[in-house]
Amino acid sequence: GVDWNSVFVQRAHRVVMPSWGIPLVQMGDEPLVFFGEYRGRRTAVVTFDLHESTLPLTVAYPILFTRLLEYLAPGLPIPAGANLSPGEPLTLQPGVGTAQLVIVTPQEETYTLLPQGGTLTFEATHAPGVYAVNIFESLEAPQPQQVAYFTVNLFDGAESAIAPAENITIPANRGDDTPLPLGQHEVWPWLGAAAFVLLLLEWWLTHR
């Protein structure tokens, strides 16, 4: 938790706690920091000027604002572009305020995961395709607040890599100089060249 014993606040604004507010830090009955959802938008309120406090000089400062940022802009529980092999488990890290995750497989099967304050593991990744991770901030919410996606691919990840390789191995020529049998040569290059010449001739006759 955040230790506020070493934090001194010189002056704070008197604020009446709204009905949607959830107190995070209080001084007696006066809220110093609170958060909640107002008109469908996540909101956090600090009732004092940071320059009139010792908060920025304490370890409570980064902890507090990290938690507030996670609440105001929750990250996705999976990395963007996650690509797994069939049967490979997926590790999920639900953000603060996530009530449940509902995963829909390519076969329209649904799995519900309830965060327990740590990471979650999803192992039903046997079917290839695109999986949807629906993120709910309330168990009663009819629609997810966010949706993330990951894929299960039958192919090796290296096969779909588009980054240039550092080293390319080219097989050595073993000196097989066996001539090709007659009639085995490719004729498509010659047919293509002839077609190109005909196109040039047609264009010249049209524009002469």
Q: Give the pLDDT confidence of 142-189 residue by residue, as tens digits.
A: 888 888 889 898 765 444 444 454 544 445 555 555 554 544 445 555
Nearest to 25 by CA among 7, 43, 51, 49: 7
pLDDT bucket at 60, cuts 50 / 70 / 90:
confident
**DSSP H or E run through 203:** helix 188-207
pLDDT tens digits along 93-135: 888 778 999 999 999 999 999 988 778 999 999 999 999 999 9
How is residue 72 written in tokens?
A: 């105001």
Closest to 136 (Cα-Cα) out of 78, 95, 90:
95
DSSP code of residue 62: H
User: What's the CA angle centered on 82, arms 141 and 98, to 5 degrees?
Assistant: 25
Question: pLDDT grade, residue 68 (50/70/90)?
Answer: confident
Q: How confident is the model over 29-42, as a mean pLDDT?
A: 86
H/E element, 133? strand 129-136
Cβ atoms of 126 and 132 within 8 Å: the answer is no
Going from N- to C-terminal start, the domains of the chain cover: 1-73, 83-159
pLDDT of residue 79: 76
Assign 206 to helix, strand or coil: helix
Topology of domain 83-159 in CATH is: Immunoglobulin-like (2.60.40)
Q: What is the predicted pLDDT for the residue at 170?
A: 47
